């Protein structure tokens, strides 16, 4: 068995879109006066990812636990990007 990294490109591209959605949610929460947290952003992303069933070489690769972990990872990254931008004085 050989790992073909090129088969992961569509998955990585979609993860980038979810990360962008998480960051946008961070910004929207801040703008509405709600203090975002990684867990709140992760919950938002998990709902958005609910019907996403990526496949690599025709095989499903996300189960419920993996999807939750993925949403938590992306939620934490989106939060950290937003929080860092605010610390740097950018308008996140």
Counted domains in the chain: 1
Q: Which domain holds residue 76?
A: 5-87
Instruction: Give exposure, 45-64, as e/b (b: 16+ Cβ within 10 Å).
Output: bbebbeeeebeeeeeeebee
- Separation between Cα atoms, residue 70 and residue 78, nearest integer Å: 12
Q: Given this model, what pLDDT does residue 18 score?
A: 98
Task: Please report the pLDDT score of residue 57 as a whole number.
Answer: 85
* Torsion region of 33: left, alpha or beta (phi above 0 gives left; psi -120 to 50 gives alpha): left
53 close to 62: Cβ distance less than 8 angstroms: yes
Q: Is the pTM of this model over 0.95?
A: no
Confidence grade of residue 82 (pLDDT, cut at 50, 70, 90): very high
Residue 32 has pLDDT above 90, yes or no: yes
Domain annotation covers residue 37: yes
What does the mean pLDDT of the chain come to? 92
Q: Does residue 57 sit within a domain? A: yes
pLDDT number for residue 1:
75
| Residue 21 pLDDT > 90 | yes
């Amino acid at each position: 068995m050989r790992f073909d990294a090129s088969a992961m490109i569509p998955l990585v591209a979609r993860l980038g879109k979810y990360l962008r959605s998480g960051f946008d949610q961070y910004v929207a929460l801040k703008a509405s006066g709600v203090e975002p947290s990684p867990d709140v952003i992760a919950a938002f992303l998990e709902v958005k990812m609910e019907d996403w069933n990526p496949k690599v070489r025709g095989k499903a690769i996300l189960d419920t636990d993996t999807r939750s972990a993925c949403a938590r990872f992306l939620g934490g990254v989106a939060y950290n990007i937003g929080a860092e931008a605010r610390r740097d004085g950018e308008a996140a």
